Structure 1
Amino acid sequence: MKLLVLDGNSIVNRAFYGIKLLTTKDGRYTNALVGFMNILLKLQAEQNPDEVAIAFDLKAPTFRHKLYDGYKAQRKGMPQELADQMPVLKELLADLGYQMVTCEGYEADDILGTLSAACEARGDECVLATGDRDSLQLIGPHTTVLLASTQMGKSVTIPMDEAAVQEKYGVSPRQLIDVKSLMGDTSDNIPGVTGVGEKTALALIQAFGSLAGVYENLDDARIKRGVREKLVRDKAQAEMSLTLARIDRAAPVPTEPGAYQRTQPDAAAASALLTGLEMYSTLEKLHLEAASAPQQTAAPLPQTALQPLTQAPEIGRVFLYFQQDAPIIVYSENVYTSSIDSEAFLDLLANDRVQKECFDAKAFYRAALRAQRHARGIVFDAKLAAYLLNPSASEYSIAHLAGAYGASPSFACADAPDAPCLEPLCDALRSACAQQGMESLLNDMELPLAEVLAEMEHTGIQVDKEGIEAFGRELQAALTAELAAIYEEVGYEFNVNSPKQLGKALFEDLGLPTRKKTKSGYSTSADVLESLRRYTPVIDHILQYRTYQKLNSTYVEGLLKVIGPDGRIHSTFNQTETRTGRISSNEPNLQNIPVRTELGSRFRRYFTACEGCTLLDADYSQIELRIMAHISGDEHMRQAFADGEDIHRATAARIYGVSPQDVTPAMRSSVKAINFGIIYGKGAYSLSQDLGISVKEAEAFIQTYLGAYPKVKEYMDATVAFGKEHGYVATLYGRRRVLPELASSNFNVRAQGERMALNTPIQGTAADVIKLAMVRVFRRLRDEGLRARLILQVHDELIVECPLEEQKQAARILGEEMRKAADLSVPLVADVNSGDTWYAAKG
């Protein structure tokens, strides 16, 4: 028989600190629960035990506390975020049929010791899972410890047996008790012998076998005089520490075979609990499903099915979603499936008399466009509503959301299991959006934007394939030249892309000073290489080589892979990915097209207008700083924008106490760093890194800045205070971001939450403004009957492709609608330029 015993408190602590804070949409913490279940299920899969016991500590004092008042006296209480999860974890484990064990007066370690002793007595195998090295003393012929540890910043599990302990410490597992009696343990506040550390304690036990052996041989020449004096002075303390360190292996807990056999899980209770906690991946790992109603089947969508929809609106509401690539249509508990090119389905999409509620409206807009038609009458998108309500969710699916929002189906469908959930889910999400004041955000911004993004994806942007290929050949030649220069400097050929080989070349063969070590050897990261530039010219060649390689692999080869048959790139724009509301893109990621270097910015030359057309480009000028001026209400910052001043120059003049014309480039550059640093919630340390100054100087710089713009300081303080009180912050348009980090008892986590609280209202409002501008530009181009089309959005920049004869009108529309997208107390500036390539239009 094989028994797996988990040290519950140790494992849950590792889970809690090993996973960033996770919360449900109503603010309940779940990171410890998620982590603990991941560890438990992984251990079960790897060990395949016959029984599983999970030991927990009780709050009551143990025999060790009674022996020594100082035992664990310095321990801080459990963080509230973890304490809140403990009863929930135990409820979940009980629902799943696991046997938990506690014992008043004893610790979980003692339970581990007792169960392992019982197994050894029977000749059974025992595996102890813990992060506490104290349990290593329990290792024996039948007992193995799976020691949870951290190596190179990653969580690992180290199997420890007798040989492993002997190899690592040079003593037997039982002798570790004696080692601790000498060296003590600061985490448990076991005193040991003052002044004796691990190295000395190990040497003493290796030499004399035990604490008693040490004291029997105090006059041995191997014990130095200073150590001897410490041993004599603290003998009583050492003997007490021996008792404190020894795990009791006779705690009064059940030890008989079968005591820790899992009982039949209460699947319904576990499923309900996990669903309410939004722990969907755990549900899947446990293969748990909620009970369902009697099943019906989905019928093919006939053309005649549309007639009652259009002729008798009282039939009911119509709901649409995609199951894989097949559209599913639901109304009045009728479920239909269709092919994407079915005329019946396309007619339904195009029929504006039928109001349709969707899950992922963009997919339906795209489906209609592929058939050269337009979707009409889409009035709700459950996926977008769910994103607004919880932008931090790891995924959005009908099944998971239905569980999270209590959307219980009134019927079931075998062929389309999500179909019965869609109507109650739409109702629940619509109600939640209304309660949180996000109806307008959904109806006037996100839902219309879905149509805009679908059109942009469908239209795409033309690229110069031959130009990209030629640039690739140029980069390959540059790569070859840099490689030759690297080999010449080092003296031999090697794989520059191998960190191990590069580390050997730099730090062993060239003798450069080492900086960081990794698990596999020397670190050759960019920051390490930057710090070595002054020692040898080879570093410049390596950095340049990496630049060329990145440009070639990511952008040349990456772009060539995704050019469509029409010679255009059709990127996918993601509306539900970022936590601040920004749009992202992939295949390819056009948000990351390089612009900071001359070489990288050349890629914009290969994005071109089609024949007879031009590209119009408009980019908001310093929109986030303008939003800061508006939100904070700072008169000085507002006035600078109202007067059309260079905000960085104006800020430098105020901070340095000089006239604007006397501001030097260095002054302006440093102030630019703090202007944007404030927006992104940077502190003194980050600013010091940006400017190459001390943290103290950076802190003084920040204080001077906030003194020059006092309303900015008031905004920062008020925003963090609001976030801490309400648990979230919001943009000007009501977009919320929940920040459980603000309530963390961990300083670093809380500081991160404060940075996000400062950044989100600014960056999120900027995202909202660009989205509104996209909707306005798209609609006005369409309403005025132009062929011009919005084809690309990158950060705060919009690109329109238009026929040459429409250039003047389209440019006017683009500029006007971007400038009018938001009613701020400072002007929104967006100048429009044109050109036959993106590079030329960028100006």
Structure 2
Amino acid sequence: MKLLVLDGNSILNRAFYGIRLLTTKEGLFTNGIYGFLTMLQKLKNDTNPDAVAIAFDLRAPTFRHKEYTGYKAQRKGMPEELAQQLPNLKELLRLLGYRLLECEGFEADDILGTLAKKCEETGDECILATGDRDSLQLVGPHVTVRLAATKFGQPQVTVYDEAKIMEDYGVTPKQLIDIKAIQGDTSDNIPGVPGIGPKGAGELIQKYHDLDTIYKNIDTLDIRESMRQKLIQHKETAYLSRRLGTICTSAPIDTEIAHYVCAPCDNDAAVRLMAKLEFFSLIDKMGLRAPAVPAEVTAGELVRVAEHTDTAELLKALQKAGRADFIADYPDGVLRLAVNFRNQIHRIDDLKFIKALCADEKIKKNTHDIKPLYAKLDALGVPLRNAEMDTMLAAYLLNPSASGYEPARLAQEYGIPLPEQGELAAAAVLPALTDKLVEEIAKKNQTELLDKIEMPLAAVLARMENIGFAVDAEGIQAYGDVLQKQIDEIQSQIYEAVGYEFNINSPKQLGEALFVKLGLSHGKKTKSGYSTAAGILENLRYEHPAVELVLNYRSMAKLKSTYCEGLLKVVAPDGRIHSSFNQTETRTGRISSTEPNLQNIPVRTELGREMRRFFVARKGWVLVDADYSQIELRVLAHVANDRNMIQAFLNNDDIHRSTAAQVFHMPEDMVTPIMRSRAKAVNFGIVYGISAFSLAKDIGVTRKEADTYIRDYLSHYSGINEYMKRVVAEAKENGYAETMFGRRRYLPELTSSNFNMRSFGERVARNMPIQGAAADIIKIAMIRVENRLQKENMKSRLILQVHDELIVEAPQDEAEKAAKILTEEMQSAASLSVPLVAEAKIGRTWYEAKA
């Protein structure tokens, strides 16, 4: 038989530190469990064992502690975030059918050793999986060790047999014990022989084979006299260290290999626990299935209705019920609905029925991922009235950190039975899922956020996607050619500065050119060469002209590849770019865009701003562009109720100049541009928890000066100081930060024992209510602008949102009116204690409208 034995604590520990902290929406930490399970799956797939045993340590002292009180004495306890995961891991492993082993007085290593010895005796194959190299001493003809690690979230394994140990260490597996006896082990607090390290210990054992031979011939050994004296002086600790470092192979455990064949999995209980841990992707990967549907649920079994269903009768039934639950899909561009009515699923692509259903004001519509449906109906000229629920948007509000919002996953997450319906599973669970999410949204006081912001916004975004943004493709192509000439010229200048030609795009060759040929000071060196990351080159910008040239080369090359070549690839036949807007991507509530990401059009450099010249209005139309003035600072003034900042905004002061006057203690008319710039950095950095060190680096002052700026700022804006303390305390108590509109972000990081992780949570607690509220306000503005344009029967239409900026495309004769509407609706989107300010400009191109 083939037995796989895992050191549970060791693998869990490495998984915990190898994967970023993960939590469920309820705040359960899960990264260690997730990493353990992925490692277990990899080990099973790689080795195909007949039986599996998983060993864990107990908290009780072992025989080693009793012999030497200093054994592992310096080790800190398990972090709370990891300790919290251990019971759930053990329960899940038992449910999956694995047998767990613990033995009082012994460590998991000793359990591995005992089972390994048994396999050597019986001739069975034993595979030991651990993150601890101590187990390499157990390798033998029938025993191999798989050294397991989790790096960058992925399981990695190194296989050790006798040949590999000889190759790496130059000794046999048993001789590793004697090496450790001499060198000691700081992680286990095993003393060894002070003054002799791994190299010296290894050379001694390679030459003299073992500890006994060394001490038997101590007076005649061909070694330095100082080493001889160390060995003589610390003979007792050397033998103590050998005893402590030797893995016991006779722990009192069950050694019958057949007893470790996996038991049948308790599928339903395992799936329920994995759903609680939000391991939805692993459920499928591990071959588990949805829990069986209780008999009372299957009483009205879901069936697929024939395509010739009487749709007129179905429509009447839906009108009478006042509710329709359906999933839309679009095979070959054809709109099709899977309508779940009274536990029967009707597959319908009858456009007449679909139009009548969607336009009916009396039928409440519940669906999943409503934006594509809005887009399809908009293209068909069909309204979607009385849209009541989008389960994807609701699930996003309830858990904005989730990795996905598929209906089947949500059913598992919220404990809804998932009948075996294949592609119809989404429609099968939709009514129950809708009811559950309505209940959960109400509990979290997010009904208005869903109904008044996210749901209507989906319709606005759908129309924006359909309309798209016109571009000057020929202009983009010509600009790309200009950039290429400049890139070629810079490339020649780099070659001349370095002294030879090389591949500038190769980090390895670039590193050799800068750090070897030119001899520049370098940062970290990786296995593949010197790092040429942007941050490192930025710090070297003034050491040699070649560095500035490389930075310019990279900037232009990215501009050409991403924004010239990239944009040309996505221009539709109508000459417009139709970006996709995503409502469920960010944790703060901001809208993101993809294919392409128009929100990333560069604006910080003149070259980047030039790209906006190629985004144009259609012939006879113009672009009306408006953005909010300092919206996040205005939100901050409001939520912090800081009287000084509020008054500055009410006076229509230049907030950065006003801040500079207070921080530098001088009249506003004496504030210099550099003072204003530094005050601006404090204004925007303070709520993100900027440190004196970071501020000093950003604005080029000493740390002491930066610290003074921050203290003076918080002294003047005392309301903001109190706000930052208050929101962190509230987030710690509640487990989440919240915007003024009820949007939440859950922050389990606040309970972390890790200082850096906890500090991150505090920064998010301070800035999420600001960022999230600003995102909500611009969403409200988008809805209001679109509704107003339609209400006034205008041809003008909203085509783009970028952060705090909205763009309307308008016929020339509607431009002034569109600008007025855009400004009015943006400024009235929320009622704050300070005015919201937006300014609209008009131009033929995006560049002109921003000028």
Q: Considering the TM-score relative to the shorter chain, is it more than 0.5?
A: yes
Structure 1 unaligned blocks of 5 or more: none
The amino acid that maps onto 2:561 is: S
1:788 aligns with 2:796: yes
Is contact 1:298-1:413 (8 Å) kept?
A: no
- Give the C-alpha shift of residue 534 in structure 1: 3.1
Q: What's the offset of the Cα at 1:422? A: 0.5
1:334 aligned partner: 344
Query: 1:135: how far off?
Result: 1.2
Q: Does 1:567 align with 2:575?
A: yes
Asked whether the 8 Å contact 2:603–2:609 carries over to 1, the reply is yes
483-492 or 762-771, which moves further after superposition?
483-492
TM-score by length of 2: 0.95
Bigger shift: 161-170 or 461-470? 161-170
Give 1:361's match in structure 2, choosing from 370, 376, 382: 370
Work out which of the residue numbers 357, 366, 385 in structure 2 matches 1:348. 357
Shift of 1:171: 2.9
Q: Is the 8 A contact 2:318 2:363 kept in 1?
A: no
What is the rounded CA distance, in whole Å, between the counterparts of 1:55 and 1:324 in structure 2?
A: 51
Matched with 2:305 is 299
Q: Is the 8 A contact 2:191 2:241 kept in 1?
A: yes
The 8 Å contact of residues 402 and 421 in structure 1, kept in 2 or not, is answered as yes
Match of 1:134 in 2: 134
In 2: Cα distance, 1:227 partner to 1:560 partner: 71
Counterparts of 1:437-456 in structure 2, within 5 Å, are 437-456=445-464
What amino acid maps onto 1:733 in structure 2?
A: F
Q: CA deviation at 1:536?
A: 2.8
Deviations 1:687-738 (A, max 9, x none): 3432345555544443332223222121111111111111111001111111
SS at 1:550 equivalent: helix
Equivalent residue, structure 2, for 1:390: 399
Specify the alignment match of 2:740 in structure 1. Answer: 732
Q: 1: CA distance between counterparts of 2:330 and 2:104?
A: 54
Summarize the Cα distance change of 1:821–1:215 in structure 2 as closer, same or farther, 3 Å threshold: same
Contact 1:193 1:238 in 2 (8 A): yes
Selected match of 1:313 from 304, 319, 341:
319
Structure 1 segment 599-678 matched on structure 2, within 5 A: 599-678=607-686
Looking at structure 1, the residues matched to 420 and 236 of structure 2 have their Cα atoms a distance apart, in angstroms, of 72
Quote how far apart the aligned CAs of 1:490 are.
2.9
* 2-structure distance, mates of 1:371, 1:152: 47
Q: Distance in 2 between matches of 1:686 and 1:233?
A: 51
1:533-553 CA distance string (max 9 Å, x none)? 334322222221111110111
Q: How far off is 1:652 after superposition?
A: 1.5
1:276 to 1:827, Cα distance in 2 relative to 1, 3 A: same
Do the aligned partners of residues 152 and 519 (structure 1) sit closer, same or farther apart at CA in structure 2, a change above 3 Å counting?
farther
Distance 2:434 2:4 in 1: 45
Moved more, 498-507 or 199-208: 199-208
Which residue matches 1:827? 835
> Counterpart of 1:201 in structure 2: which amino acid?
A
- Give the Å deviation of 1:180: 1.9
Q: Which amino acid aligns with 2:569?
A: K
**Which deviates further from its counterpart, 199-208 or 648-657?**
199-208
Cα distance in structure 1, aligned partners of 2:832 and 2:515: 56
Between stretches 207-216 and 574-583, larger displacement belongs to 207-216
Partner of 1:166: 166
Instruction: Give the corresponding residue for 1:517.
Output: 525
Letter in 2 for 1:388: L
Amino acid across the alignment from 1:234: H
After superposition, the C-alpha distances for 1:581-616 in whole angstroms (9 at most, x for unaligned) are 000000000110000000001111111111121111
Alpha-carbon shift at residue 213 of structure 1 (Å)? 3.1
Q: Write the letter of the residue equivalent to 2:736.
A: Y
Q: TM-score, normalised by structure 1?
A: 0.96
Alignment-derived partner of residue 210 in structure 1:
210
Deviation of the 1:253 alpha carbon: 1.7
The answer to whether structure 1 residue 717 and structure 2 residue 725 are counterparts is yes
Provide the C-alpha distance between the structure 1 equivalents of 2:638 and 2:562, rounded to a whole number of angstroms. 39
After the TM superposition, which residues 532-543 of structure 1 pair with which residues of structure 2 at under 5 Å, given as runs? 532-543=540-551
Equivalence for 2:412: 403
Cα RMSD after superposing both structures: 2.1
The alpha carbon displacement at 1:142 in A equals 2.5
**Structure-2 separation of matches of 1:397 and 1:501:** 45
Residue number in structure 2 paired with 1:98: 98
Matched, 1:464 2:502: no
- CA–CA distance in 1 between the matches of 2:151 and 2:377? 52
Distance apart, 1:247 and its partner CA: 0.6
* CA spacing shift, 1:300–1:705, aligned 2, 3 Å: farther
Q: Secondary structure at the match of 1:483?
A: helix
Q: Could you say which residue in structure 1 is the equivalent of 2:177?
A: 177
Q: 2:571 corresponds to which letter in structure 1?
A: I
- CA distance change for structure 1 residues 245 and 709 in 2, over 3 Å: closer, same or farther? same
Query: What residue identity is the alignment partner of 1:545?
Result: Y
Aligned residue number for residue 56 of structure 1: 56
Letter in 2 for 1:144: T
Secondary structure at the aligned position of 2:541 is classed as coil
Check whether the contact 1:152–1:518 (CA below 8 A) recurs between aligned residues: no
Q: Is the 8 A contact 1:103 1:253 kept in 2?
A: yes
Q: Secondary structure at the match of 1:41?
A: helix
**Cα pair 1:24 1:278 within 8 Å, conserved:** yes
Q: What amino acid maps onto 1:322 in structure 2?
A: A
Deviation at 1:499, TM superposition (A): 1.4
Q: Following the alignment from structure 1 to structure 2, what is the Cα–Cα distance between the partners of residues 695 and 41?
A: 50
Q: Report the residue type matching 1:317 in the other structure.
A: R
Q: Do the aligned partners of 2:15 and 2:150 also contact (CA within 8 Å) in 1?
A: no
* Aligned counterpart, 1:111: 111
One-letter amino acid of the counterpart of residue 164, structure 1:
K
Matched, 1:778 2:813: no
Amino acid at match of 1:69: T
Distance in structure 2 (CA, Å) of the matches to 1:373 and 1:314: 22
Deviation, structure 1 residue 80: 2.1
Whole-angstrom distance in 2 between the partners of 1:148 and 1:697 = 48
Q: Is the 8 A contact 2:322 2:364 kept in 1?
A: no
Query: 1:467: how far off?
Result: 0.7
Task: Give per-residue Cα distances to partners, 1:408-431, cap 9 Å, x unaligned.
Answer: 36x764661222210111111011
| 1:206-256 deviation line (CA, Å, top 9, x unaligned) | 333223333334435644444444333332222211111111011122223
Contact 1:309–1:354 (Cα < 8 Å) also in 2:
no
Distance in 1 of aligned mates of 2:764 and 2:499: 49
> Counterparts of 2:709 and 2:644 in 1: how far apart (Å)?
18
- How far did residue 779 of structure 1 move? 0.8
CA separation in 1, counterparts of 2:551 and 2:713? 35
- The one-letter amino acid of 2:465's match is E
User: Once the 2 structures are TM-superposed, how far is the Cα of residue 373 of structure 1 from its aligned partner?
Assistant: 2.3
Structure 2: any 5+ residue segments left out of the alignment? none
**C-alpha separation in 1, matches of 2:403 and 2:693:** 31
- Cα 1:623–1:330 change in 2 (3 A) is same
Given the alignment, which residue of 714, 718, 721 partners 1:706?
Answer: 714
* Identity across the alignment (%): 53
Answer yes or no: is the 8 Å Cα contact 1:317–1:332 preserved in 2.
Answer: no
Q: Distance in 2 between matches of 1:739 and 1:82?
A: 17
**Cα shift at 1:465:** 0.8
For residues 739-754 of structure 1, the aligned pairs below 5 Å read 739-754=747-762
Output the CA distance in 1 between the equivalents of 2:686 and 2:593. 27
| CA–CA distance in structure 2, aligned partners of residues 653 and 206 of structure 1 | 73
